[in-house]
Amino acid sequence: MTESLALSTAFFLGLLGGTHCLGMCGGIAATVAMGSPGGNRGVGLLLGYNAGRIFSYGVAGAILGSLSWLIEDPKIQIIIRSFAGLMLVFMGLYIAQWWQILTQVEKAGSILWKRISPFASKLLPVKNAHQAILLGLVWGWLPCGLVYSTLIWASAASDWLLSSQLMIFFGLGTLPAMLMTGMLAQQMKQLLQHQITKQVSGGIIILMGIYTIPWQGILH
């Protein structure tokens, strides 16, 4: 997969995963947007929050991608890419609400979240851009099956910089849903939460996962 295609795929993973973002981060996004009585300032706080969140995704991608030296063996790379594709399939099933297996992954991540969530609580209610960015930086580590699946997929790039870029593009893909949610666009929220939308999005992600699996290397 070329770099430009990989980045486009990462963006669409975030865009298609927007149906899940509503449940995980929609509430906090709305809270941030309403943190200021001024409409334009509320949007500014929301952008700051999302900038911090996406930056954390990029950091997570860089950390996991920096471990690429551990998977120089071609056989191990095939295993990692296969696992990454499988996680995308699980993500699609999760978003379409056909199989909620990733909830178990989120439970595992809750151990980390328990340690950092007190910092998020101290930043509420959000009064200024500084608080909004810091809240986003913390919230980016919220246990989320969608993020974890994409992170594993991004780490298969075997390059810390590209893995970081993939996570940033994934975060940018989630931005439309998060902004619409934060600004309380009810019609968009209803569309994203519709069961058919979730199933179509999940189905496309499943196909992406199947495409990601290196079938040729496995069969050989």
d(CA 51, CA 92): 25
Amino acid identity of 144? C
Note the pLDDT tens digit of each residue in 130-176: 999 999 999 888 888 888 889 988 988 878 999 999 999 999 999 88
Count the Cβ atoms, other than its own, within 10 Å of residue 162: 20
**Contact present, 204 and 14 (Cβ < 8 Å):** no
List the single range of 1-10, 145-154, 185-194 with lowest mean pLDDT: 185-194
* Closest by Cα among 55, 50, 54 to 28: 50
Q: What angle do CA 21, 124, 50 make, to 5 degrees?
A: 35
CA 170, distance to chain mean position in Å, is 6
Read off the pLDDT of residues 42-99 as tens digits, 9 standing for 90 and up. 788 889 999 999 999 999 999 988 886 666 667 777 888 888 889 889 888 988 889 8
